[in-house]
Amino acid sequence: MIVDLFQLRGKVALLSGAGRGIGAAAARALAEAGADVTIAARTAEELEKTATAVREGTGRRVLAIPADAYDPAAAHDLVERTVAEYGRLDVLVSVTGGAHPRPFLRTGDDALLDSFRSNVVNGLRLVREAVPHLLGSDAASVVMVSSTIGHVVGRGYVAYGSGKAALDHSVRLLAAELNPRIRVNAVAPGAVLTESLEKVAADPAIKERLERETPLHRLGTVEDVGAAVLYLASPASSYVTGQVLAVDGGLLKSNLDMPFPDL
């Protein structure tokens, strides 16, 4: 049956940035499909909440490891501890990155460099550590979490959008280099109701604008993205690699340009 292609029974997944939001939803989705998971994030308390929810909700094994994505040693440790715990690695989901909106003329070198470190370097480092073990899987998949702002335009997003655009192309380059042994894809969420956006959307006027400017006229949920991650991680997408899957309600441009003054 087609639905069986979405199953991950007997597989092991490692997810970074899984303490809350999209990462936590992706961890739940993969565990519900039968995978045992390792989840990592900086905040131990958030990680434990996610781990408890996954264990109680799915019955799958969960290894929670506090880790800082900026620490090169942490990436190596995450992969090695995962393989030591489960004996294998089949799926890697990298949920890292971010950058605060700001006018371009106030976007200094430090902001640009940090965006590329958080959105590109940290994720690629984890992939590099994972590849030797993913090669031992018969269904290896890497899923990066990008952003719609990597391929649409909007005011205030030069640092963040440039970082995500670079991540998108790294997915295509990685897929070409790791074919046919490891599939590499990305999801690109739009305005998704994570804790960060919930604070912004608490203003009814902003929420109304976000919904009005989105073709599907609603905000996304973390479950929307989690479902897309499951698709790309599972055999259901076994003929898909080098792709960036937009999960953004149909956006063709930013639905929240920053109200910066014109030049």
Q: Output the pLDDT for position 142.
A: 98
**What predicted TM-score, i.e. pTM, was given to this entire model?**
0.95
Cα angle 63, 67, 68 (rounded to 5 degrees) comes to: 155
Instruction: Output phi, psi for 50, to 5 deg.
Output: -65, -45
pLDDT at position 261? 67
Residues 128 and 184 sit within 8 Å (Cβ to Cβ): no
Q: How far apart are CA 185 and CA 245, in angstroms?
A: 8
Rounded CA-CA distance 61/51 in Å is 9
- Known catalytic residues are 160
pLDDT, tens digit, 9 for 90 and up, residues 234-244: 999 999 999 99
By residue count, the chain amounts to: 263
Delimit the domains of the chain by residue range: 2-247
Low-confidence ranges of the chain (pLDDT < 50): none
From residue 239, how far is each of 127, 182, 183 by CA, in Å?
20, 11, 9
Q: What are phi and psi of 51, to 5 degrees?
A: -60, -45
CB environment 213-222: b (16+ within 10 A), e (fewer): bbeeeebbeb
Closest among 61, 8, 6 to 39, alpha carbons compared? 61
**Beta partners for residue 37, in sequence order:** 13, 62
DSSP of 123-166: HHHHHHHHHHHHTT-SSEEEEEE--GGGTS--TT-HHHHHHHHH
CATH code at 2-247? 3.40.50.720
Q: What is the pLDDT of residues 90-123, one digit of tens each?
A: 999 999 888 889 999 999 999 999 999 999 999 9
Three-state secondary structure along 187-235? Answer: EEECCECCHHHHHHHCCHHHHHHHHHCCCCCCCECHHHHHHHHHHHHCH
